[in-house]
Structure 1
Amino acid sequence: MKKRNKIATVVAVASCLVLPVWAATTNLTITADTLSYDGKTGRADAVGSVVITREDKTMTGASGWYNTKTEEGILTGGVSMIGQNMSMAASEVHSYHNDEFKATGNVHLQKDNKQVYGDEVTYNTSTDYGVVNGNGKLVMEDSVLTGDYIEGWMNQIKANAKGNVTLFSAKHNLNATADSAVYTQTPGQEDGVAYLTGNAHAVQNGNVLDAPQLKLEMKDNSVQTMGGRSTLVITPQ
């Protein structure tokens, strides 16, 4: 029988146990009620009150695994993640390299003063780029954009939405719908501009405008048709 030079697998059971391992050059800490680690494959499996901490992010969940060699992991069961200027909650989160996250199940992502909701959200913390599939909602400084699909850049406030799109702003007394939309805004400024395309419909201050495409400017509460036959209904004030 050959004598083993090192332990390939570690199994631990405790009410709160910390297993520090190394992923690349970053120290990673995993805490769980039940924890196993295979030093050969680099995979750690954790069950019960799991806490994974790496760099500026801490993730918690009921169970999951993390591979220190591929820098990939999955947490399930009431998952939450807290990082620098951001937080996320979901039923399950799949992480890649500590900056790419795919969350599923009642996802709620908050970055600074912006919020994202959806059935599935993929988000990169390095580029601030995210994609929402299913029941998407983007809550911005003075507007709310919804759609079946939304992609955008949180740091720039630039978003594209498709499918059952709505744009709402209580501040600007605006309700609008369309098949798709492109929305841009400078952070901290009231200069939001939205291009609504396909069955565009906008109601602002009681006035109704229908057109194939509309341009809405929050700065001066203006609505402009962009082509095709349009209809404007003005409600006397």
Structure 2
Amino acid sequence: MTTKKLYRGILLLLAAGTICTAASAAQQDAEPSRLTADTLTYDTRTGIVTAEKNVRMEQGTGWVEGARATYNTKTAEGTIEGGVRAMREDMQLSCDRLFAAGQEHWQAAGSVRMVKGGHTFSGAQVDYYPAQNDYIRAEMGGTITSPDGTLSADRMEGWLKEKHFIGTGDAHLSSPPRDLEGGGARMEYFGSADRPYVVLDGDAWVFQANNMARSNHMTVYLADDGTAAAE
């Protein structure tokens, strides 16, 4: 394998695949790419490429950097770890370890902080599927923050493009602009609706302006003036 092909293989996965958004593979292929690292090795037997120390990969306006990166030319899977930071278009990411399986799925683990489309996710681990309306899944729970407030739960999932999030297990919603708090065993938030609303299930409660409401099932509509109406 030539050095040029070797670099290209790493970059397509780690510099593009791991931090790609809605850009197509064809568009990414046309973008200039660059790799820098103190050491670079390739094992022809296993097909493993390894870049170590001060690793930084760039493609177009996107980049990812960390202490160590590996790419498996046989499985098209790659990992970068050690103070990982990445950026692509409107997404920023920091974590301890980033794993990518092609351009369809990547997983960030360890002190994850992901910012995209006005939303920030923080937690121990998150799986991201860019081709599925920016779907994220956090089996270990986490917190999603937006200008309107925060949503946290023991397990989180959502579609960033649709502003649609689901939290299960000790779900909690806090919206300082609306002076609103709520919670329950399960919470589903619909931020793209004409009247944004949240559905609470399982010993649900809402507290706003010294008013408390409780029910096993509750739908709370969030008005533009900051008030909330429960059903």
Give the TM-score range, shorter chain: 0.7 to 0.9
Q: Is the 8 A contact 2:34 2:59 kept in 1?
A: yes
1:192 lines up with 2:196 in the alignment = yes
CA contact (8 A) 1:166 1:178 kept: yes
Per-residue deviation at 1:80? Answer: 1.0
Contact 1:117–1:135 at 8 Å: present in 2 too?
no
Runs of at least 5 residues in structure 2 that lack an aligned partner in the other structure:
13-24
Partner residue of 1:36 out of 41, 56, 72: 41
Q: CA RMSD in A?
A: 2.5
Are the counterparts in 2 of residues 47 and 62 from structure 1 also a CA contact under 8 Å? yes
Is contact 2:169-2:185 (8 Å) kept? yes
Higher RCO (C-alpha under 8 Å, 6+ residues apart): 2
1:92 maps to which of 86, 94, 97: 97
Name the residue aligned to 2:7: 20
Residue 53 of structure 2 corresponds to which residue in structure 1? 48
TM-score (norm 1): 0.79
| Secondary structure of the corresponding residue to residue 21 of structure 1 | helix
Aligned residues: 208
Distance 2:181 2:71 in 1: 45
Structure of larger gyration radius? 1
Contact 2:206–2:212 (Cα < 8 Å) also in 1:
yes
Is the 2:172–2:181 Cα contact (8 Å) retained in structure 1? yes
**Aligned residue type for 2:138:** V
Q: Greater share of helix residues, 1 or 2? A: 2
> In 2, distance between residues paired with 1:30 and 1:79?
15
**1:168-224 deviations in Å (ceiling 9; x for gaps):** 11111101111111101128x7x3210000011110111011111111111263342
Q: Does 1:119 align with 2:106?
A: no
2: distance between equivalents of 1:67 and 1:35? 14
Does the C-alpha gap of structure 1 residues 193 and 157 become closer, same or farther in structure 2, counting only changes over 3 Å? same
Identity of aligned residues (%): 26
Shift of 1:28: 5.7
Which blocks of at least 5 consecutive residues in structure 1 are unaligned? 1-7, 11-18, 226-237
One-letter code of the match for 1:176?
G
- Distance of aligned partners of 1:165 and 1:133 in 2 relative to their CA distance in 1, 3 Å threshold: same
